[in-house]
């Protein structure tokens, strides 16, 4: 019997890319989604990943992806919802920003979980993991819609964990600052690091470690792992 693949959405960069690379290194078959072609997707293909283009910004794009996925595989070991959008509450564009963030962070996981749960019901270990954000712990003055949509994803973790048990475990990971962007200046980095008790830029490997914990532990569901370096202590 062939090994069921792990699906990671939004795997062309940063956390999603790192987790896809590490899963492939550890011998897991992987299917990734991407919005735009990047060199990183070619690298993943060269490592053995299957790659599907997907646009989760509207319902049609989500349902088109679900159909394409079911043509690609008849089973999954796990679904990792990593696809994300980052938009501020720009004056005059608030409604559009909210709609798009809702589609990517909530509607896409909701529909994919509902319509692809059958791919996870194969009698072996099965997981859904939602990659959220530590910002949901207290909200955001400047990114209200973003924080609200990620909080909705946290609640989907609880509801799907209850509805899909015991066959499928459903958990979340809520990262805070994991890695800087190359153009972040020294002052920004200093202020950002000071917001956590541990004061480090840990890198994406800590999210892979969290993902593997959730995949490997058979007795955890309905839980969100906070990976924030102790920000709640400051």
Q: How far is residue 234's CA from residue 232's CA, in Å, rounded to a whole number? A: 6
Q: How far apart are CA 162 and CA 158, in angstroms?
A: 6
Bridge partners of 6, per DSSP, are: 30, 78
Q: d(Cα 61, Cα 54) in Å, to the nearest integer?
A: 7
Catalytic residue among 34, 146, 208, 219: 146
- 146 a catalytic residue: yes
Query: Going edge to edge, which strands form the sheet with 127-131?
Result: 50-53, 30-34, 6-8, 78-81, 127-131, 169-175, 224-227
Other beta carbons within 10 Å of 203: 13
Other C-beta atoms closer than 10 Å to the C-beta of 30 total: 25
The H or E element containing residue 193 is helix 186-193
- Residues annotated as catalytic are 146
């Amino acid at each position: 019997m062939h090994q069921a693949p792990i699906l990671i959405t939004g795997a062309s960069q940063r956390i999603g890319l790192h987790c896809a690379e590490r899963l492939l290194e550890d011998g897991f078959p992987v299917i990734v989604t991407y919005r735009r072609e990047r060199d990183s997707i070619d690298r993943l293909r060269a490592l053995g990943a299957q790659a599907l283009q997907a646009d989760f910004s509207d319902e049609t794009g989500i349902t088109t992806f679900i159909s394409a996925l079911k043509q690609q595989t008849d089973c999954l070991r796990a679904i990792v919802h990593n696809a994300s959008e980052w938009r501020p509450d720009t004056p005059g564009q608030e409604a559009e920003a909210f709609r798009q963030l809702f589609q990517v962070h909530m509607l896409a996981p909701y529909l994919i979980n509902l319509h692809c749960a059958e791919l996870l019901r194969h009698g072996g270990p099965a997981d859904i993991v939602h990659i959220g954000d530590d910002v949901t712990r207290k909200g955001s003055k400047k990114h209200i819609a973003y924080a609200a949509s990620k909080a909705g994803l946290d609640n989907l973790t609880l509801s799907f964990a209850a509805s899909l048990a015991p066959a499928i475990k459903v958990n979340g990971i809520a990262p805070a600052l994991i890695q800087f962007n190359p153009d972040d200046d020294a002052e920004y980095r200093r202020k950002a690091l000071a917001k956590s008790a541990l004061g480090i830029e840990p890198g994406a490997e800590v999210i892979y470690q969290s993902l593997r914990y959730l995949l490997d532990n058979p007795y955890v569901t309905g839980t969100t792992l906070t990976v924030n370096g102790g920000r709640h202590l400051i």
